[in-house]
Structure 1
Amino acid sequence: MSVFGLDLEIPWATQNLGIELRHGESFAASAAEDALPGELSIAALVQPGLRRNPRRAHLLVSTVLGKHLPTDPRIVIGAGNRLGDLVREHLDDREPVVLGFAETATGLGHCVAARLGASCYLHSTRRAEPRATTLTGFEEGHSHATSHLLQPAPADIFVNDLPLVLVDDEISTGDTAIDAVRALHAFAPRSHYVLASLVDMRTAADRAKFEAFAAELGARIDTVCLASGRTELPDGLIETVTAMPEPALNPVAAQRGSFGRIELTWPADVPEGGRHGILNSDVAAFDIALKAATGEVQTRLDAEFAGRPVIVLGHEELMYLPLRLAAELAESGTPTRFQTTTRSPAYVLDEPGYPLRRGFRFHAPEPDATAQRYLYNAQLAEGEAPVLLVVIDPPADTPELIDQGGLVDVLTASGADVLIAVLPGADPRTLHTARTSDSAEQLTRDQRVRGSGLPRSAEVPGPARRFPEALRGPEFGSYAADEVSWLLKDLSDVDLEADVAERERRIQAGTAHYAESLPIEYQPDAEYRELFDRVLAESAERLALAVATVAELVVAERGEDIVLVSLARAGTPIGVLMRRWLRSGVGRPSLTVPHYAVSIVRDRGIDAVALDYLAHHHDPSTIVFVDGWTGKGAITRELTEALDAYHAAGGARFNDELVVLADPGNSVRTYGTRDDFLIASACLNSTVSGLVSRTVLNDTLIGPGEFHGAKFYRELADADVSNQLLDAVTAAFETIRDQVPAAVAAIRDSDRTPDWSGWASVERVRAEYGVATVNFVKPGVGETTRVLLRRVPWRVLVREADAPEHAHIRLLAAARNVPVEVVEDLAYSCMGLIKELDQ
């Protein structure tokens, strides 16, 4: 059997890397109406591919799913039908509810539900719909993108005690299924689950673990698949794939292809897929609407591309309707294949027998989602020039879709003719109203709630949650709008500044928290500004190397689908610079990533509303928290504790690893350097941080559902050097480009385990100098600078009397009459001690 020119007997990854996919058993015989051969082997269902991922370097590429490979839509539907037939054998004549996993199995799950005549089909989503109510969510810890949201309209079409069929494309270990069932069972318990997949690659140990889990849960869990097998991987595969050359993406042809657009007709009260649930009673209306939409497409194709083959491209989770549209075109005589875009990066290699021969990377078109998306192959046999019919819904119908680097741009640049078909899609509010109306005939008694377990928040679904708007320059801050989105409340018109000494006295007395007010912004004299200019010129290359190093470490270990979230405000210039490095194309392929700034407050935690916003707009697993430097490591601990508390309260699970430019405190794993050196952004206050104040958390100003606050000091524009800093470091990228690989390798090869030695040294200084609390000991160049700029300093300790990294500190200390003491065995270059004030 040959699929897309692949020799299924000797895949490239088997021949060259030793990846073996061993067949176990086949379970589904041919259905009379499908286009598949008889029993299907593992080799006929999946092919070994690769991905440059530090956790898993292999990828099972399905030949019947229509994701990575252009596939006959009748084969895709046939595979779903066979799987549905297997599921039916375990349902004991009960009507099921079917749940498909985003993104890969949304279409497959819908095929299974249609075959079974399921009461309801719902698929999880990673693209939250703001007009819908989120019922619950769960994590998929082994996926490229983990968080799943459930947004049925209304909730009771999903929450019941009917058998729940969970559909995924593959089971590798079963851990993902266990995690999902555990989360769903805790939310709405059921007595019977069926896990259905195209292939099941679990080992005997994996199966035993799954059986133990079912016993622990006290529920029946059946598993079905088209074929079972096992994956055998050679030693060192991750290292081998990591060392392979960068894949060539976004091919460019001598002549650019054409681009057209068609607006499809679709009824507002008919669900176009399973994101908000599709009922068995919706099927007839869906089929009628599908016929009409197909007719519109066929007319356009006949007019402009008569006789040309077509590849119908779904976009991420929007799979089933494009699949059915492709099947209708194929039945009418148009040579048609089907596949979809994806969030998952994979390794492209133009070699016979390898499944991913061509690849495209493009900016996600959805709002607030500037991460990268991917499409593979999108071609037919040599000599055939298919029309690429891309089916999208409104959230993806944005300027980014056709802008430079967008999907249309990269596809037409390859020479392809592209036709965008825009589907209006159903309004979840309309569906909710229709399904909760007493006169709604389509919601039968059997489709109403049939069990308990609905949480109070979902009993009467309300309007979709509305988040505050992110702030951007030039309206807020002096950074460009695309450099950072501030998840903050604008308090620019509020009088928050207090005398430094009086503010310090109230903080130390415990009558006020440091985050409730702001210190008066210290403005340095001309001599200090000249020192800043000199320091920036001398350190720009060192800063650039540290920025590039930490950015490349993040991509190497977290992948390209990342979202930078800096801790305002010290982390924000670093986040902007990391984003600039990744986008620059200096020494690496250009990568555009989103960047936000959020507030974190010692003893109060991170802004939970900002976390809700991030979880709503992005996959939480892609979030990378960024700060400028570590002192003793207090914020490192604060971040971990705050994220744990947020998750325990029902929020999404975020990765708590803090990424910093400099880690002199030895409290993080991912850093650009552990040297305690002068970071120019630490020399000043807002005038080097986008003219934004430190963040404010004051209950009289910040209400429920609002971000923490900050001020924009527009009046300091003449003294602003924020962009001077960014531009100086960016200009040094080309100079340091050749040093980056060695710097990254040196850190990856070292023992990066945090030993918290900085904290221990602070404790020693605290005891030696009789300081009441470690909060009054601020270690490192950056923290010492902060003491002198916005606290009441007592004294400054330095390891060397004339070290250049603290020349500005000595200047500030002299200006404020603060003694500087040399301590030769000091663990940091310098430390600032806060003065204890009389109460």
Structure 2
Amino acid sequence: MQGNRRKELREKAVNEGERPEARRAARAGAADRAGGVWSGSWVAERLGVELTGDDTLTDLLGLALRRNPKRAHLLVSNVLGKHVPQSPSVVYGHGVTLGRRVRELLADQAGEAVVLGYAETATGLGHSVADGLGTAPYLHSTRRPVTGVAQAGGFEESHSHATSHLLLPEDPALLAGDGPLVLVDDEFSTGNTVLNTIRELHARYPRRRYVVVALVDMRSAADADRLDDFAREIGARVDLVAAASGTVTLPEGVLHKGQELVARHQPPEAAEQPPSQGRVTRVDLDWPRGLPDGGRHGFTPAHRARLEAALPAMAARLSKALPRDARRVLVLGFEELMYAPLRLAHALEQTVRAEVRYSTTTRSPVLAVDDPGYAIRTRLVFPAHDDPADGPGDRYAYNVAGAGFDAVVAVVDSVADTPALRAPDGLLARLAAHTPQVLLAVVPSYVPAPPSAPERPSMLPAPLRGPVFSSYAPEEVGWLLQDLSEVTLEAPTEEREEAIQSGGAHYAESLPVEYQPSEQYQRLFHSALDASAARLAQAVGVVTETVLAERSPRPVLVSLARAGTPIGILMRRWAQYRHGVELPHYAVSIVRGRGIDANALRWLAAHHDPRDVVFVDGWTGKGAITRELAQALEEFETSDGITGFDPEIAVLADPGSCVRTYGTREDYLIPSACLNSTVSGLISRTVLRADLVGPHDYHGAKFYRELAGVDVSVAFVDAVSARFPEVTDAVDTQAKELLATDRTPTWEGWAAVERISEEYGIHDVNLVKPGVGETTRVLLRRVPWKVLARAGAGSDLDHVRLLAEQRGVPVEEVTDLHYTCVGLIHPKYTRGATGADGKAVTV
């Protein structure tokens, strides 16, 4: 809360207001820093308006006069990109920096935040703040109603010339979460707009935390106290982040004096309309199909990634269309359409040698005075060209005329690409009167598809997180599953096996009874963990470095529940330890014969770029899940039209030689394979059953809270990540060597499984479970027939031998076995069957 700070600034303003020489010195210092006269001095001297506050305040702001009966003065930002053409790097950088400050403030809650910007001036700023946050979806208010899109809220901006704000998210659930809401405006004068917004939204979508962001905070101490009181009233925390703070001191009668000044200095209308001279050329941006033009209906991280990928090519098209000798170029946005032109200008700035500036048109009427001490030197007036809801009227472009631009790139959305735009008195003609070349770039106006009911991907629930679901910390993993903890799903192992092999049920329709390890088995687990932790840490480092180098610099880790989830957590921890990068991590369900959870994919595609998604698993056996994923993604692309998901799985161990991205191809014990839920966040294996999982639901799973006393999930990942420092050098060396190696999968494991299936008369590769991890699963969940062990295999198989002894399952040593061990399930299981040694096969 900012109450004390506001009072200090108010006292400073009062004290300095008594010393004219201090005010003059402050203005002179600002002029020195800016290399000229402060652009607020003209108004300050004539109206007695004073700005007092942070040292940077007058660098950020100038003053002008409004043609507005509610407020005489206008704070004109030098870094917003609305009224004053500015370097797009400066404009974008201020927004991103504020977003990073918000991310630091929110810490673990940053990944749950939603950003809301205010139309029209802060639509681009709010979007840039969302970029700085990194993973936040973005929405801005709008004054443009859109047919077919339901209003999710609205509020009033009392001092504005156009007061009504609409909230029109494509996804009605966008504002319904309980994570922090970040509200972004260019400046806070009284705080009324923010208070009105929070009041409106809190009544519909109550939450515990709000963050208010602005370039400058100019509220009085009383206004700050009012917001503090309101926060206490609704029981929410309200933080404030601003680039600069200060106060505006207004003398008595300032509104009347301002109106007199406006009337005295208003130029003749004819003087504002010289004839058109320059050429107007249309440029095709090749804007990505279906990509929103901004945040009017919501803009997700996946949208952001698509835009980032497309920007270089669009900037190249603009660059090619510009005059070769252009030395000074303006990219001019259009009212609420601020972010897309800003990003185009930013990309163009990095492409051409010319000086690039950025600003936008506006509906705000402001007096122009050609004086270096005034913020608005010139203005262009033209009719509105987007069929606005409030009817026809004038629009403005400030500080464009007389600024020496060799070319202007006018960026509008397709709704505004009308005959009025190209009329003799329209925007293009007004621009052509002041620059030799005008380029028109049209961005398709995004129109949301009609709402269709619950199956809309955007309506899917947010991921489940600990401690409500799983024993992992909430930032470690989000589970794209539905909680079936209250449903009885467990069945005796013999009944499950009989039903599965007879075709009466699929293995994912029920759960095995959770194995309760004996004290001897638990000691064996901890012994194995102590012995293998460093080896596991090295493999985690190698696979993570491979992903970062080859797949994506900021991957979205999506582990295949459950075996992949501890590995995904460890990879996330390595990226944070080695590179300081916080990677998103989710867990999803994949079921052999049924495919991956399509609704989870839809949620991921709505919140991330599918090209950044890296699927993670613990190990490969024969490669069945690798093939399952590839087939499922191909079918998903055909059915949903969503492209970009890569079927390549990253695994800790790839003994089957089924993938290119791995930490090792050795078949050794990964201790997390020794247990079930108690090493996987207390989450069951996933469930897919028609009576529990509808077509618009995630796959299900259970959270075994009652097993918390024997849970070693966090202990396992802590033990491995504690060894990261000692293996760093080895990881660097091995990863470098691996990246230079031909890692094309040979599928040797699959061939070995087929040979074993025939040799032992099984004739079904699904009943052959190769590798230490898969063999352990057979012994824990299924009714095994026998275990094949490579002759001479050592301590990696201690737990396998113990489980086999407890289950009465023979262990047969085999020379030249491709894997360290293989678990076999009898092909014709019936209740009361016996194992190869004649012992009853029971639990």
- Normalising by structure 1, we get a TM-score of 0.50
Partner of 2:666: 675
Give the equivalent residue in structure 2 for 1:198: 318
- How big is each residue's C-alpha offset from its partner over 1:691-750, in whole Å with a ceiling of 9 and x where there is no partner? 000000111001132110000001111111111101100110111111111110121122
The offset of 1:468, in angstroms, is 1.4
Letter in structure 2 aligned against 1:694? R
Q: Is the 8 A contact 1:168 1:197 kept in 2?
A: no
Deviation at 1:793, TM superposition (A): 0.3
CA deviation after TM superposition for structure 1 residue 458, in Å: 3.7
Q: String of CA shifts for 1:566-624, please: whole Å, max 9, x gaps.
A: 0000000000000011112xxx3311111000001111111011001001111111111
Alpha carbons 2:673, 2:776 under 8 Å: kept: yes
Matched, 1:287 2:362: yes
Give the counterpart of 1:821 among 780, 796, 812.
Answer: 812
Tell me which residue corresponds to 1:686: 677
Counterpart of 1:621?
A: 611
Deviation at 1:168, TM superposition (A): 11
Matched with 1:748 is 739
Name 2:563's counterpart in structure 1: 570
1:580 paired with 2:573, answer yes
Q: Please list the CA deviations of residues 180-230 of structure 1 after superposition, one character each: whole Å capped at 9, or x if unmatched.
A: xxxxxxxxxxxxxxx982235xxxxxxxxxxxxxxxxxxxxxxx56569xx
Aligned partner letter, 1:707: Y
Query: Does structure 2 conserve the Cα–Cα contact (< 8 Å) formed by 1:170 and 1:198?
Result: no
One of 467, 472, 476 as aligned partner of 1:474? 467
Distance 1:704 1:582, change over 3 A: same
Contact 1:560/1:591, CA 8 A, preserved across alignment: no
Residue 650 of structure 1: how far off its partner (Å): 2.4
Q: Does 1:808 align with 2:795?
A: no
- Classify 1:506/1:752 alpha carbon distance in 2 versus 1 (closer, same or farther; 3 Å): same
1:558 match: 551
Distance (whole Å) between structure 2 residues aligned to residue 728 and residue 788 of structure 1: 25
Give, in whole Å, the separation in 2 of the partners of 1:724 and 1:169.
40
| Contact 2:168–2:296 under 8 Å retained in 1 | no
Structure 1 pair 765–705 and aligned structure 2 pair: CA distance change class (3 A) = same
User: Hey, what does 1:422 align to over in structure 2?
Assistant: none
Q: Does 1:492 align with 2:485?
A: yes
Match of 2:585 in 1: 595
Q: 1:461 to 1:331 in 2, by over 3 A?
A: farther
1:828 Cα deviation after fit: 0.4
- Whether the 8 Å CA contact 1:662–1:675 is kept in 2: the answer is yes
- Give me the whole-angstrom Cα distance separating, in 2, the residues matched to 1:797 and 1:271: 68
Residue number among 644, 649, 660 corresponding to 2:634 in the alignment: 644
Q: CA RMSD in A?
A: 4.6
SS of match in other structure, 2:651: strand
Question: Please, which of 282, 288, 291 is the counterpart of residue 149 of structure 1?
Answer: 291
1:729-748 matches, within 5 Å, as 729-748=720-739
Distance in 2 (CA, whole Å) between partners of 1:168 and 1:567 is 28
Deviation of the 1:130 alpha carbon? 9.1
SS of residue paired to 1:624: strand
Count of aligned positions: 470
Q: Deviations over 1:19-72 (max 9, x none)?
A: xxxxxxxxxxxxxxxxxxxxxxxxxxxxxxxxxxxxxxxxxxxxx995557799
Change (3 A) 1:751 1:152: closer
- In the alignment, the residues of structure 2 paired with residue 167 and residue 743 of structure 1 have an alpha-carbon distance, to the nearest angstrom, of 35
Q: Which residue in the other structure is 2:625 paired with?
A: 635
- In structure 1, the residue matched to 2:772 is 781
- Contact 1:567–1:625 under 8 Å retained in 2: yes
Q: Which runs of 5+ in 1 are unaligned?
A: 1-63, 74-99, 108-119, 121-128, 135-142, 156-165, 178-194, 201-223, 229-269, 277-284, 296-301, 308-324, 334-430, 432-453
Cα deviation code 1:64-102 (max 9, x no counterpart): 9955577999xxxxxxxxxxxxxxxxxxxxxxxxxx9xx
Aligned to 1:131: 169
Distance of 1:532 and 1:827 partners within structure 2: 25
User: What is the identity, as a one-letter code, of the residue corresponding to 1:596?
Assistant: Y
Distance in 1 (CA, whole Å) between partners of 2:767 and 2:642 is 34
Aligned partner letter, 1:708: H
Tell me the SS of whatever aligns to 1:659: strand
Query: Which of structures 1 and 2 has the larger relative contact order (alpha carbons within 8 angstroms, sep 6+)?
Result: 1
**What's the counterpart of residue 312 of structure 1?**
none
Contact 1:561 1:622 in 2 (8 A): yes
Question: Contact 2:787/2:824 (CA < 8 Å) preserved in 1?
Answer: yes
Q: Does 1:833 align with 2:819?
A: no
Distance 2:365 2:668 in 1: 63
The 3-state SS of whatever aligns with 1:566 is: strand
> CA shift at 1:462, angstroms?
7.3
Secondary structure of residue in 2 paired with 1:149: coil
The one-letter code matched in structure 2 to 1:558 is R
Residue 800 of structure 1, CA deviation: 2.3
Q: Is the partner of 2:557 in helix, strand or coil?
A: strand
Q: What letter corresponds to residue 288 of structure 1 in structure 2?
A: R
- Cα distance, 1:794–1:549 mapped onto 2, change above 3 Å: same
Mapped partners of 2:763, 2:572: distance in 1? 40
* CA separation of 1:487 and 1:460: change in aligned 2, threshold 3 A: closer
2:685 pairs with 1:610: no
Note if contact 1:168-1:196 (Cα within 8 Å) is conserved in structure 2.
no
Taking the aligned partners of 1:225 and 1:331, their CA distance within structure 2 comes to 19
Equivalent residues of 2:361, 2:398 under 8 A apart: no
In structure 2, the CA distance between the partners of 1:734 and 1:133, relative to structure 1 (3 Å rule), is closer
| Unpaired runs of at least 5, structure 2 | 1-84, 95-123, 132-145, 147-166, 173-284, 298-305, 326-334, 342-359, 376-394, 404-414, 416-444, 831-843
AA at the equivalent of 1:833: L
CA contact (8 A) 2:291 2:446 kept: no
Which string of whole-angstrom CA distances, capped at 9 and with x for unpartnered residues, describes residues 531-579 of structure 1?
0000000000000000011111111112322111000000000000000
1:132–1:151: 8 Å Cα contact kept in structure 2?
Answer: no
Instruction: After TM superposition, give the deviation of residue 469 of structure 1 in Å.
Output: 2.5
Say whether the 8 Å CA contact 1:798–1:821 is kept in structure 2: yes
**2:629 paired with 1:509:** no
For residues 824 and 462 of structure 1, do their structure 2 counterparts lie closer, same or farther at Cα, with a shift above 3 Å needed?
closer
**Equivalent in the alignment of 1:665:** 656
8 Å CA contact retained: 1:763, 1:774: yes
Within 5 Å, give how 1:55-70 maps onto structure 2: 68=89
Amino acid at match of 1:507: I
Query: Larger Cα Rg: Structure 1 or Structure 2?
Result: 2
Matched-pair contact (CA < 8 Å) for 1:627–1:661: yes
SS in 1 for 2:604: helix
Alignment match of 2:748 (pick from 757, 765, 787): 757
- Tell me if structure 1 keeps the 8 A contact 2:533–2:719: yes
Distance of 2:289 and 2:750 partners within structure 1: 35
CA pair 70-486 structure 1, distance change in 2 beyond 3 A: closer
What amino acid is aligned across from residue 501 of structure 1 in structure 2? E
Which residue of the partner structure matches residue 252 of structure 1? none
What aligned pairs does 1:209-358 form with structure 2 within 5 A after superposition?
A: 224=321, 226=323, 271=336, 273=338, 287-289=362-364
Alpha-carbon contact 1:489-1:706 (below 8 Å) kept: yes
Aligned to 2:111: none
Partner of residue 699 from structure 1, selected from 690, 695, 698: 690
When normalised by structure 2's length, the TM-score is 0.50
Percent sequence identity is: 51
Contact 2:288 2:310 in 1 (8 A): no
Alpha-carbon deviations, 1:251-282, whole Å to 9, x = none? xxxxxxxxxxxxxxxxxxx8455889xxxxxx
